[in-house]
A and B are shown apart, each in its own frame.
Chain A
Amino acid sequence: MEPQPLKYDRQLRLWHAHGQQRRHLARICLVNAAAVGAEAVKNLASALSPSSPPPFTVVDDALVSGAHAGRNFFLDRSSIGKPRAEALAALLAELNDEVSGSAVVRSPADIIASSPDFFRQFSLVIATELPENDLRALARICWDADVALVVARAYGFTGYARIVRREHTIIEAHRGPISDFRFDCPFPALASHVASIDHTALDSMASSHLPFVVILIKALAQWRASHNGALPANRNEQAEFKQLVSSFKHPQSVDDENIVEAVANAYRAYTPTKIPADVAAILADPAADSLSPETPDFWLLVAALKRFVAHEGNGLLPVAGSLPDMKSDTDSFVKLQQIYRAKAREDTALVRAHLDHILVAVGRSTDSISDELVDRFCKNSSALAVIRYRSLEDEYTANRGAQYAGDDHSNFYWMLRAADRFRTLHGRLPGTDAALLVEDADKVAAVVADLRSENGLPSTVVPDSHITELVRAGGCELHNIAAIMGGIVSQEVIKLLTHQYVPANHTVVFNGVPSSSSVYQF
């Protein structure tokens, strides 16, 4: 199968998990067939669309050793002595009839050094078992080619995952239900609907089914009429406002669930509707200003959104158009829902019109971005997210670890860095020779001291216990830690490929002794 990452790249950025485009999922490259990488690919083969898992390529020139076969479920006794890339690809492909895997039996270091363009065919690379310098070189290649990189590692009881990507944009963060009521600024259709309801004329039954949204809009309008248009500002006023809301209860009504809901949501009514700070920052991002045919869809959509906000939106985002369930009779709820939905459709159409202008201006056809995507974008516009990762090079040359001084999981990060440096200096990992454990511990201590001073870290010493533990591990890969990290890596890869949910930024360290983890931005 011919790699076609560029052809599908744009779609992949925004279309994932929606419709047929899933078929053309990104290609994934696994550099070195460590157990942690095999586990990640195993989960990906089943976690994404079961009928169209992403094709993967394993790059590895190692021959399967007895230890490899002992700790990796996708290598077995019969694979010992054979190229690890081929053995792994064959057993992983057995997982699912649809999985297509291939093997490149060539040294990753050699490809990194002599054919860096090789990695351009992938949209995501999972790197395992690379020495420090090769890893840094691979990270530079992926950075320049805008290929996402996930570094995965299981080392003794320590697990490590690092995500590197220039920019990751998210439309569907799934951070919980989006509530967008516009209590303080009801749009005309909503305001006139609420005004048309005379709650004082309702009998107790109808009154107890008045949706809390209607109650709050009415109560707030009343409040503002008697407070020069101001919202309840301080604690006293807010308490007073809640009393006003409670007074909507019908004297004969025994059922006050809607009043309880209105009081519980009162804070939303006196919190002014505005664009969340994170989204305001995205709107102000220069990426939405300099538009060209190469501008990713996400930023074209942001540019259209920005025009909407500046013009028809009067400084606000499009109405989201979804209502949570609430105490209400069917008719009142459905009516309210229709009013919000109609406004959302109107706003979305305006964003669409801005987008069409933009698409024409950059020389793209207006049907190159679907209505369905514009819909999804507008509905989620208050929860858009952009992550710009630190490059691995920045992490290695200007580490920000000082902020985590004394944090225990971050000490294990420094242990892994020390192990890599040790390998560069001594040609093997610490603790691989049972006769040299004491000597190795001294050498590791020296490496740690060097690393820390190079990175401008405080001289607080990493506990001896951590150094002893690093040496004890002897560079081993325990299957369970590999499986935990393989799980985390596959989860993060899914987020990176689908642009849904929020991936970690940028390093996850797991410690299998207490069984706990932390996320760092080194």
Chain B
Amino acid sequence: MSHHDWPDRWKDLYTYLERPGPFENDGFEPGDAVKDFLHSCKILVIGAGGLGCELLKDLALSGFRDIHVIDMDTIDVSNLNRQFLFRHKDVGKPKAIVAAEFVMNRVPGVTVTPYFGKIQDKDEEYYKQFSIIICGLDSVEARRWANATIVGMFDEGDPETLKPIIDGGTEGFKGQSRVILPRISACYECSLDMQTKPTTFPMCTIANTPRLPEHCIEWASSVAWPKAFPDKKIDGDDPDHIKWLLNTALDRGREFNITGITYTLTQGVVKNIIPAIASTNAIVAASCANEAFKIATNCTTYMCNYMMYVGDDSVYTYTFELQRKDECPVCGSAQIKLRIDPEKTLSELLDMLLDTQEVQLKAPSLRTAAKSLFMQAPPMLLEMTRPNLDRKIRDLVAPGEEITITDANIPISLQLTLEFI
């Protein structure tokens, strides 16, 4: 018993950890060893926002005592209604630091180590120290990076390198939580095509035939703004920017007889705001923490492996086993084969790659064993390889020659072979 404990503090948890049960996982041994492991293992929470605040509370009350949290954001007034560890006096301060302090004050004996910064600042050495990693992020890019990094660390010969990832996400009344055992169950990248894409409007509608208030707002932000302020980026949190966009959109609306353009809608379209509600965050975060508790103790079997939650029409969950993809660029052996006319240019090949749904590249670099075809970085290599973009494929590679693709934004590498047609 730690000196921070009081009689019966962990009574509820220990009831489970001291008794065998019909749903226990393989390898569960009731007794003190499992309690000690729970209290001492290191767990990382990525994100200290709506899900992160809940997760820190849930983990601290689940017996985890060595919790780390990473978040690059500072507290905004708009966070206060859902992110219950933050108060008015905290506005402007780093989320990770404020959340860590709050939880440590409330739950004695728990150490929450914050890092105020980007997940990309940390290397494998850092991520290696954790037994379990939980992602409570709202950005697809950050989750892809975390997933690829942690799955990529796994070395078959060293079981210590297998880090279970628990991932949670919410949007309005909908959410999901999932357990990823690297190379054993489906990873985040395996199911990338399940992501709902943000609504986009065709450019010709925006330019020529607007019909909805959104079309007018989109015109204001993507056509009128760059013309009026070529050197200024839109800041969705700057009321002056939103007001300018609103007025411009209203003018366009008047011109086309379109009504319903409001400040709230303008801000929503410009910031692509994903609605978040406290109840869904609470449910998804607690189901993630529940899995962390089970993984740390084996006291029951784990979720297998994906729970979809929908709460707007009654209460609905769908829990199923998401299958791993053999050709996943992160946890499988990704081999892309493309049929291409060798008269096409390297630049056209890049466009084809960017359109490929299965891999969803952002900023690909390409090289063969012999030479760099196109490298996005460093700048010197970019300058050197840029002329290749206009050269024909047939002048750069042989049919069937292996090309390695890497991406500046996601730590993956995959093999591409071209078949000439």
Contact = CB atoms under 8 A, between A and B. Distances in A.
Interface in A423-459: 431, 434, 437
B278 A47 contact: yes
Contacts of B7: 66
Given A469-B23, A515-B303, A50 B80 contact: yes
A512 interface: yes
B197 interface: no
B290 interface: yes
Contacts of B257: 330-331, 334
B298 interface: no
Contacts of B293: 478, 480
Given A76-B106, A476-B15, A501-B173, A70 B9 contact: yes
Nearest to A491: B279
A501 B312 contact: yes
Interface stretch (A118-126, A279-287, A352-360, A502-510): A502-510
Given A501-B312, A519-B315, A71 B12 contact: yes
Contacts of A478: 12-13, 16, 62, 290, 293
B282 A39 contact: yes
A502 B61 CA distance: 32
B317 A515 contact: yes
Interface string A167-183: 00000011100000000
B303 to A, nearest CB: 4
Interface residues of B, number: 66
B285 interface: yes
Contacts of A488: 279, 283, 311, 315
B211 A325 contact: yes
Given A174-B312, A330-B209, A505-B314, A481 B11 contact: no
Interface in B268-319: 277-283, 285-287, 289-291, 293, 300-301, 303-304, 307, 311-319
A481 B282 CA distance: 11
A365 to B, nearest CB: 31
A209 B23 CA distance: 61
Interface string B137-178: 000000000000000000000000000000000000100010
B108 interface: yes
A237 B279 CA distance: 49
B282 A515 contact: no
B291 to A, nearest CB: 7
Which of B57, B80, B286 is the most central at the interface, judged by chain A CB atoms within 10 Å of its CB?
B286
B301 A175 contact: no
A78 to B, nearest CB: 10
Contacts of A472: 15-16, 19-22
A141 B8 CA distance: 35
Interface stretch (B81-89, B184-192, B350-358, B375-383): B81-89
A59 interface: no
Nearest 5 CB-CB pairings of A with B: A66-B8, A487-B282, A483-B286, A487-B283, A50-B81
29 contacts: A42-B84, A43-B282, A65-B8, A71-B61, A73-B107, A157-B23, A174-B312, A328-B209, A464-B22, A473-B16, A476-B13, A478-B16, A479-B58, A481-B286, A484-B286, A487-B280, A487-B281, A487-B282, A490-B278, A491-B311, A501-B173, A501-B313, A512-B300, A514-B301, A514-B319, A515-B290, A515-B317, A516-B317, A517-B315
Interface of B: 6-13, 15-16, 18-23, 54, 57-58, 61-62, 80-82, 84, 88, 106-108, 173, 177, 209-212, 256-258, 277-283, 285-287, 289-291, 293, 300-301, 303-304, 307, 311-319
Interface of A: 39, 42-43, 45-47, 50, 65-67, 69-73, 76-77, 80, 95-97, 156-157, 161, 173-175, 209, 325-326, 328-331, 333-334, 431, 434, 437, 464-466, 468-469, 472-474, 476-481, 483-484, 486-488, 490-492, 494, 501-505, 508, 510, 512-517, 519
